[in-house]
Amino acid sequence: MVRWLLVWLAAVAFFAASSAGRAETIERPHVSVSIGSFIIGFLPLPLAHANGWFREQGLDVDVQNFQASGTKALESLIGGSSDAVVGAYDYTARMQTRGKDIRCVILLNNAPGIAVAVRKDLAEKIRTVRDLKGATVGITSSGTALDYIFRKVRADAGLAPDDVRIVPIGSGKNAIAAMETGSIDAVVHQDPAITVMQRSGLAKVILDIRSIEQTRAVLGGDYPFTCLYTSAGFIEQNPVTTQRLVNAFAKALAFIHDHTAVDIADATPVEYHLGGRDVFVATLEATKDMFPAVGRFDPADLARPVLLIATFEEAFRVAPIRIADTYTNRFVDAVPPAAAGSGAGR
């Protein structure tokens, strides 16, 4: 009797373990994650990739860098060639007005990390944003989060939309080249490109929105900017895969929070050290506080970018955005403590 009881208990344990294993089966072990082009706010992606934190989660992640604006990465998601994107939060709201259900699953930045910089030879003439009247200014692309923030900045400075000529320039490398050739008078961009231009004497920053403190002063509070987003369909069909992705990104955020700029630079592949290691370390020191320790979304903060875009885009006013459908905290809240632990080891 005892023997049969032991056999029965063993069988129950086996089937329970098998069921648990099936419940945790990774639906998509090979995943493609895209970016437009690298900016410092995207740092958790190369950190997680280079240090094996995706592999720890049982994922084989292919990182696609289009060396273009964030809209290119978004298009790859909509077209089905990418599974997820590291990009601006407000794309989730913008796609809602077009009938597309895109949702952020972990927040990566609480600040936009943007600066407005002028060519050094024009620094005496252009001292403030208001002085940009008549100037040619380069931005990544029209219709991006950066574009809308600069629209607000111009309006706050008393400039009309036609007072400044806007030129799309794409990636940070293109921004630096445009400033070097003099094809633009000023640039609105992010690090590491801005720090590279400052360090080389190419440009002078006239408005800085790279830190949390500066973001609150200019934009009125924390400004959720970069996240990992994917389609609602992908989340529904691949909940375990999505959780594993979020676990790896959570570990990257924890690592950034717990380590110095030098430690972070050492853990980041050198191909991301635009301008060299010293410039990269300086960039990290200036922008480290834009990364939250935990990538949880606050609906009150999410309203800030949505309201800003609504100021300039009629579609946002005609059909109010359902903020609750632009994000989920489900996966961040389920990150195991061990999975979020920091530590680098390639």
CB 207 within 8 A of CB 87: no
pLDDT of 194 reads 92
pLDDT of 230 reads 98
Stretch 52-72: mean pLDDT, rounded? 91
pLDDT level of residue 23 (50, 70, 90 thresholds): very low
Tell how strand 114-119 and strand 203-209 pair up: antiparallel
CB 210 within 8 A of CB 114: yes
pLDDT level of residue 340 (50, 70, 90 thresholds): confident
The better pLDDT of the pair 344, 144 is held by: 144
CA–CA distance, 258 with 250 (Å, rounded to integer): 12
pLDDT level of residue 20 (50, 70, 90 thresholds): very low
pLDDT of 344 reads 55
CA–CA distance, 109 with 253 (Å, rounded to integer): 10
Provide the whole-model pTM: 0.85
Percent of the chain with pLDDT over 70: 91
CB 64 within 8 A of CB 76: yes
Q: Where are the alpha helices (DSSP H) in 62-183?
A: 70-79, 90-96, 145-156, 172-181
Task: Indicate the CATH number for domain 28-111+224-340.
Answer: 3.40.190.10
If you count them, how many residues does the chain have? 346
pLDDT of 12 reads 38
pLDDT level of residue 66 (50, 70, 90 thresholds): confident
pLDDT of 172 reads 82
pLDDT level of residue 317 (50, 70, 90 thresholds): confident
DSSP H or E stretch at residue 230: strand 226-231
pLDDT of 9 reads 40
- Report the candidate in 304, 322, 263, 274 with the shortest Cα–Cα distance to residue 107: 304
Q: Which residues contact 320 (CB under 8 A, 6 or more apart)?
A: none
pLDDT digit string, tens, across residues 79-124: 999 999 999 999 999 899 899 999 999 999 999 999 999 999 999 9
In sequence order, what are the beta bridge partners of 104? Answer: 229, 327
Domain map (residue ranges) of the chain: 28-111+224-340, 114-209
The better pLDDT of the pair 234, 69 is held by: 234
pLDDT at position 8 over 90: no
pLDDT at position 191 over 90: no
Stretch 27-56: mean pLDDT, rounded? 95
pLDDT digit string, tens, across residues 211-231: 899 999 999 999 999 999 999
Instruction: For residue 167, give the 3-state DSSP assignment.
Output: strand
Token couple for 158: 């008393």
CB 58 within 8 A of CB 267: no
The amino acid present at 287, given as its one-letter code, is: T
Chain-wide mean pLDDT for the chain? Answer: 89
pLDDT level of residue 6 (50, 70, 90 thresholds): very low
Assigned CATH topology for domain 114-209: D-Maltodextrin-Binding Protein; domain 2 (3.40.190)
pLDDT digit string, tens, across residues 239-285: 999 999 999 999 999 999 999 999 999 999 999 987 889 989 998 99
**Cα–Cα distance list, 59 to 17, 25, 220, 303 (Å):** 22, 11, 39, 33
CB atoms near residue 51 (< 10 Å): 22
Equal fold, 28-111+224-340 vs 114-209: yes
pLDDT of 13 reads 39
CB 78 within 8 A of CB 100: yes
CB 184 within 8 A of CB 138: yes
pLDDT at position 299 over 90: yes
pLDDT at position 73 over 80: yes
Centroid of chain to Cα 230:
13
pLDDT at position 7 over 60: no
pLDDT at position 22 over 80: no
pLDDT of 346 reads 40
| Least confident stretch, 147-156, 273-282, 294-303, 329-338 | 273-282
pLDDT at position 77 over 60: yes
pLDDT of 237 reads 97
CB atoms near residue 173 (< 10 Å): 15
